[in-house]
Amino acid sequence: MSIGQPRSSDAALAQPSLGAIARVALRGRSWQRRLMRLCDQLLTWQERSRQRHQLASLNDHLLRDIGLSRADIMAETTKRFWQP
């Protein structure tokens, strides 16, 4: 072995193992999945709130057309956005 060339054990220490790289990659994907689930949940809540506001704005004629009563609408629109 010549001077200046790293020994094989030195080279192994300088580069991370594939297992370490895989763990970091999976950890990153876990955060991405969590973030995506959070975004999906927020969008679901926003859409649910929007739909309930639209239901509340319908007149009695339109409610009869879709087969709902004003009491049905009140029951739905008094729910919180996170309640299905």
Contact by Cβ (8 Å): 46, 39: no
Q: If pLDDT is split at 50, 70 and 90, which confidence band does 5 have?
A: low
Residue spans per domain, the chain: 17-77
Q: 83 is written with which tokens?
A: 């309640």
Q: Give residue-wise pLDDT tens across range 15-36.
A: 767 777 666 666 667 888 889 9
Cβ partners under 8 Å of residue 79, min gap 6: 52
- The torsion angles phi and psi of 17, rounded to 5 degrees, stand at -75, 160
Q: Could you give the percent of the chain with pLDDT greater than 70?
A: 73
- Cα–Cα distance measured from residue 72 to residue 62, given in angstroms and rounded to the nearest whole number: 13
Q: Give residue-wise pLDDT tens across range 59-71.
A: 999 999 999 999 9
* pTM of the complete model beyond 0.85: no
